Amino acid sequence: MKLTLILLALLAATGIPSAAEGDTAEYWSSLGDQQLYNGSIEEAARSYDKALELDPGNVNLWNRKGYAFGILGRYEDAVESFDQALAIDSTNVEALNWKGLALYRGLDRHDEAIACFDKVLGLNASDSEAWNGKGMALADKGDLSGSLVCLQMATKLDPLNPGAWNNEGVVLREQGKYQEALECFDKALLLDPNNQAAQTNRNNTLQDTNRIVQLGTR
């Protein structure tokens, strides 16, 4: 997802902390960023804990701790971290979007997730990540029509997001709109040729269309 890619890019640019910096929030935050980027997720969460002991009002630290918990599959803990961020800044878009993702992906709490995305959209109707997240939450609930409207908004606002194109294709395929779905998967793969989800979905959609053609010739 785009949010994930942005965070990882920021982490890659973070300098490796020096032990000489001592026991400061900045030291533990930078260490956590490096651990997160390198895949040492549990260690990163512990480093963010130490940073938060020294700087408990830091919204970004709560968000990164929640993000780490999400990777670990600890979705309740992730939501709790994002709630801490939102207690400090109730309009923090990053916390709202990531909380929404944790709620619907990990906890099946779709209505609460949609409420998070709606709050983001109330702050900024052009937030493509919120449209994307809301679309997938609606799809999980079985509201394919509502989902498609949201996902089409996401790709309109950010046509360079391969994940959003893939998600739109998934919903179109579920609706039986195979040609339109294939076009979405093709766009996703044009942007990201290594996108395994889009490639798998494209292959499955082609199998569906071939099956329909075979049935029609009998």
Q: Give CA separation, 149 vs 44, 131, 156, in Å.
A: 37, 9, 11
pLDDT in tens, 10-64: 454 445 554 445 689 999 999 999 999 999 999 999 999 999 999 999 999 999 9
204 is a domain residue:
no
48 is a domain residue:
yes
Q: How confident is the model at residue 6 (pLDDT cuts 50, 70, 90)?
A: very low
64 is a domain residue:
yes
Question: Is the CB of residue 70 less than 8 Å from the CB of residue 102?
Answer: yes
- Give the whole-angstrom CA distance, residue 199 versus residue 208: 14
pLDDT at 188: 99
Q: How confident is the model at residue 210 (pLDDT cuts 50, 70, 90)?
A: confident
pLDDT in tens, 125-167: 999 999 999 999 999 999 999 999 999 999 999 999 999 999 9
Count how many domains the chain has. Answer: 1
164 is a domain residue:
no
Q: What residues make up the domain containing 86?
A: 1-90
Rg (CA), the chain: 20
Question: Is the CB of residue 30 less than 8 Å from the CB of residue 17?
Answer: yes
DSSP letter for each residue of 160-176: T-HHHHHHHHHHHHHTT
119 is a domain residue:
no
Query: Which residue's structure tokens are 């968000």?
Result: 63
38 is a domain residue:
yes
Q: Token pair for residue 19? A: 């032990």
25 is a domain residue:
yes
pLDDT at 174: 97
Q: Where are the alpha helices (DSSP H) in the chain?
A: 2-12, 25-37, 41-54, 59-71, 75-88, 93-107, 110-123, 128-141, 144-157, 162-174, 178-191, 196-216
pLDDT at 158: 98
What CATH number is given to the structural domain containing 79?
1.25.40.10
